[in-house]
């Protein structure tokens, strides 16, 4: 079964195969620095005796590091609504800038993070990327206790949180090398789900942590992640491994950029994953500003639903086709956005809150379904001789779409800010999002489902 989770993993080639005359060892052989020279998960004897346990160990610590990355990436979504109460004088436009910038940075560094694994080694880069989380966590803890801080400095500190967004790409790349093709989809699914859950968990846990005792202690939002980031780095240093023989496959990216389906799917992924990360970032501030008496602690439910429905989207797409389920996800997103408009106009918190849960459901289902389309699209109509090149192009598409889609986390908060500044209401932004979802649904239908289209006869 193809993986239905976004991953930059295929951007790099698989480890070099051992010599045909050399028997595969049944025990793991490592050099100083925990470098593994022989790794062949497709060798059944090696996999059963040694490979599976080692791969699962690396997966566990990879999930933890990626989970923390998503937590740090989403930290400002929790902190921003509470900054005015801490003495910061910020306009709504400035608040949405602080929410949007981490997504902008995280999306931009995803492709460089992909190539870091072949360059430094998976274990080594997990150590480095975990330690990099100390920068945004420490900066946040320091800055939120100083209300006199200028907005430009606040914006720079928020940008540092983008380091957490890059962890997804490097983690998925690294884990792809450890598992055989038959188990890769499940492993990458677990890795991605573990990371995505960080967005909801941080919105659930951090508000409780900063409220312990008298007053609100915003600095704790950063402080709690300092020991956790150190723990992730130590865990990677002690129990993860580097694999030799892997290299960055720039050709897969070059092939993907020349294929129009890469850009079509990237456009669609802005609507699915971009909606998830964008709404997750904006939701706490939307609740705080539009319904001041509503319990802010409920905001985490949306991000949690978005993360948990992602595997569901992949499973349903496996049965009914990625294109059909992607269209259905855009229908759900459209309905959710229209309901949110009605909730704002009626000043109904229950309707607004419920509408956003629908939005998160549609985004989660669409995340899995859209990525399920990629291998099918690039495999369609390809001869056996051309299949290796098609797989390389699909691999590059997965990496590119994962990065491009994350820009939705920037566009959505900025859309809300521009609508409020220009029209005094969030409603115009939601109408723009509705138009985008309709356009995306029509694009999927026209390119992949419409009778008479080039790919209509394929199972996309």
pLDDT digits (tens, 9 = 90+) for 83-100: 998 999 999 999 999 999
Is the C-alpha dihedral spanning 157, 402, 259, 122 positive or negative? positive
Other Cβ atoms less than 10 A from the Cβ of 342: the count is 14
3-state class (DSSP) for residue 242: strand
Give 307-342 pLDDT, tens digit per residue: 999 888 888 988 898 999 999 999 999 999 999 999
3-state class (DSSP) for residue 36: strand
pTM of the predicted protein model: 0.88
Burial of 348 (0-12, 13-18, 19+ CB in 10 A): middle
Helix (H) or strand (E) holding 458, with range, is none
Direct distance between the N- and C-terminal alpha carbons of the chain, in angstroms, rounded to an integer: 14
Q: Given a cut of 80, is residue 10 above it in pLDDT?
A: no
pLDDT at position 24, please? 45
Q: Given a cut of 80, is residue 59 above it in pLDDT?
A: yes
Closest to 165 in 3D by CA, of 70, 75, 68: 70
> Band of the pLDDT at 442, cuts 50, 70, 90?
very high
Pairing of strands 242-243, 35-36: parallel
Closest to 273 in 3D by CA, of 388, 374, 178, 345: 374
Q: What is the mean pLDDT of the chain?
A: 90
Q: Given a cut of 50, is residue 60 above it in pLDDT?
A: yes
pLDDT at position 29, please? 67
pLDDT at position 187, please? 86
291: left (phi over 0), alpha (psi -120 to 50) or beta: beta
Give 211-240 pLDDT, tens digit per residue: 887 777 999 999 999 999 999 999 999 999
> Band of the pLDDT at 7, cuts 50, 70, 90?
very low
Q: When comparing pLDDT for 8 and 150, which is higher?
A: 150
Q: Given a cut of 50, is residue 8 above it in pLDDT?
A: no
Report the pLDDT averaged over residues 100-124: 94
3-state class (DSSP) for residue 243: strand
Token pair in block for residue 351: 């309707």
Report the pLDDT averaged over residues 12-34: 55
pLDDT at position 311, please? 87
Closest to 225 in 3D by CA, of 79, 381, 444: 79
Specify whether the CB–CB gap between 351 and 408 falls below 8 A: no
Q: What are phi and psi of 18, to 5 degrees?
A: -70, 165
pLDDT at position 11, please? 40
pLDDT at position 1, please? 36
Range with the lowest mean pLDDT among 183-197, 255-269, 318-332? 183-197
């Amino acid at each position: 079964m193809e993986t239905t989770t976004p991953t930059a993993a295929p951007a790099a080639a698989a480890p070099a195969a051992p010599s045909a005359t050399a028997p595969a060892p049944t025990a793991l052989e490592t050099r100083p620095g925990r470098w593994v020279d022989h790794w062949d998960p497709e060798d059944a004897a090696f996999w059963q005796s040694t490979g599976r346990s080692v791969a699962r160990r690396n997966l566990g610590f990879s999930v933890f590091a990626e989970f923390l990355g998503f937590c740090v990436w989403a930290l400002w979504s929790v902190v921003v609504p509470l900054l005015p109460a801490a003495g910061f004088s910020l306009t709504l436009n400035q608040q949405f800038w602080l929410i949007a910038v981490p997504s902008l940075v995280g999306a931009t560094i995803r492709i460089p993070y992909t190539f870091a694994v072949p360059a430094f080694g998976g274990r080594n880069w997990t150590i480095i990327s975990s330690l990099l989380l100390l920068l945004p966590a420490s900066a946040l803890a320091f800055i939120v206790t100083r209300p006199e801080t200028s907005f430009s400095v606040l914006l720079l500190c928020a940008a540092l949180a983008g380091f957490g967004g890059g962890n997804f790409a490097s983690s998925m790349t690294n884990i792809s090398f450890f598992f055989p093709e038959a188990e890769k989809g499940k492993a990458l699914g677990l890795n991605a789900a573990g990371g995505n859950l960080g967005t909801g968990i941080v919105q659930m846990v951090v508000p409780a942590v900063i409220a312990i005792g008298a007053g609100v202690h915003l600095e704790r939002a950063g402080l709690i992640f300092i020991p956790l980031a150190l723990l992730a780095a130590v865990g990677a240093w002690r129990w993860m491994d580097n694999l030799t023989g892997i290299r960055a496959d720039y050709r897969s990216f070059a092939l993907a950029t020349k294929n129009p389906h890469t850009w079509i799917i990237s456009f669609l992924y802005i609507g699915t994953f971009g909606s998830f990360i964008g709404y997750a970032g904006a939701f706490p501030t939307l609740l705080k500003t539009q319904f001041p008496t509503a319990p802010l602690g409920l905001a985490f439910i949306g991000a949690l639903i978005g993360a948990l429905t992602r595997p569901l989207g992949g499973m349903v797409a496996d049965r009914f086709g990625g294109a059909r389920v992607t269209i259905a996800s855009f229908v759900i997103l459209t309905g959710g956005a229209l309901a949110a408009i009605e909730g704002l106009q009626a000043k109904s918190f229950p309707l607004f809150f419920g509408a956003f849960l629908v939005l998160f459901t549609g985004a989660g289902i669409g995340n899995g379904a859209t990525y399920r389309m990629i291998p099918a699209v690039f495999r369609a109509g390809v001869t056996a001789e051309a299949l290796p090149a098609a797989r390389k192009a699909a691999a590059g598409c997965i990496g590119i779409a994962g990065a491009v889609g994350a820009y939705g986390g920037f566009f959505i908060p900025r859309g809300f800010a521009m609508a409020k500044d220009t029209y005094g209401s969030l409603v115009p932004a939601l109408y723009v999002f509705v138009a985008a979802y309709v356009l995306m649904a029509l694009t999927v239908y026209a390119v992949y489902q419409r009778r008479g289209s080039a790919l209509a006869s394929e199972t996309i």
